[in-house]
Structure 1
Amino acid sequence: MTAPDETQAIRLSKRLAADLGCSRREAELYIEGGWVQVDGRLAEEPGLRVRPDQQVQLQSGARAEEAPPVTLLLHKPPGYEAGLGGIEPGAHASRSRGAPEALTLLQPDSLHAEGGPPVRVLQRHFRQLQCHTPLPTEASGLVVYTQDRRMARRLAEDIETLEQECIVQVTGRIADGGLQRLCHGLEFNGRALPPIKVSWQSEQRLRFALKGIRPGQVPAMCAAVGLSVVALKRLRIGRVALAPLAEGQWRYLRPWERF
């Protein structure tokens, strides 16, 4: 059998433009939009080299349109670095050395089965993602990654005013009147804290709902009433909740969802 002549291979976008009689830009949009197959397999890279003997096919219903930016919601497990690092949701401390990036968990096969993407899953959805909802390496829970500049700006500007809900696992014996003090009456870094919603979920689990969380704030609050933080899990940012994602799973932010 004669080996394929790779010297005759050309860019997929050039081949598609010639086959369709369209512009190179239109061909790139078809390819990047996930509408093109090479030898029966999806090809999303305009620069892919294809030979004359290979079959290039445009799927029915194809549209030469810019794919809109997406926002992804991830359930980060403990031990992964997310966003700007820190000790508490909202923190801006340095990264933990050696911790893997939570961004690497965003893969097509870890999409939540019932999350129902608003668009088809494309490789371009996992590029140029930014996180403005940092979560400490040792914590778990909801983290948001986005390609949308407007969403990124909104999160960066509003993260201090969005209410975040966390479940905090603790050890120790709470001081008399400690729950009331957690809700209102404690100081942090020399400043009185505003009223905070804190309630028991079980004998060792507290629910916090608060805004403008500062680095180390929740551990310091717990320590002030005789408790030590063992684990922290973020369940909600604004109106967007973590459920039903399992650890390591992600889904798309739906068009109608708002933080």
Structure 2
Amino acid sequence: MQNNDSETMRLSKRMAQLGLCSRREADSYIEQGWVKVNGQTAVLGQKVTERDRIDLNKQAHGKQAARVTILLNKPVGYVSAQAEKGYKSAAELITADNHWEGDDSRIP
């Protein structure tokens, strides 16, 4: 089957579109041999179409399951990344004391 270039995209981009992981995570999974396309181990930079079947192995699924998302409304006076002179890092606002009690992930 011939693929038209306008129909193809990088595998990592397609994985991100499907909500499997981020592009950066996809590249890591591909490098580790954790991704298959149509039953064949994927390679970094591989092009795929919407019709191709993409499978993640158990290690990739386990890594994804261990991730958490933190939503934070960063107040004025805090910086998003590393602390700068006169400002604190927003990461300092995330503590065990304000962990949502409804979280059943068991991730501290």
TM superposition score normalised by structure 1: 0.22
Larger Cα Rg: Structure 1 or Structure 2?
Answer: 1
Q: Flag the structure with higher helix content.
A: 2
TM superposition score normalised by structure 2: 0.49
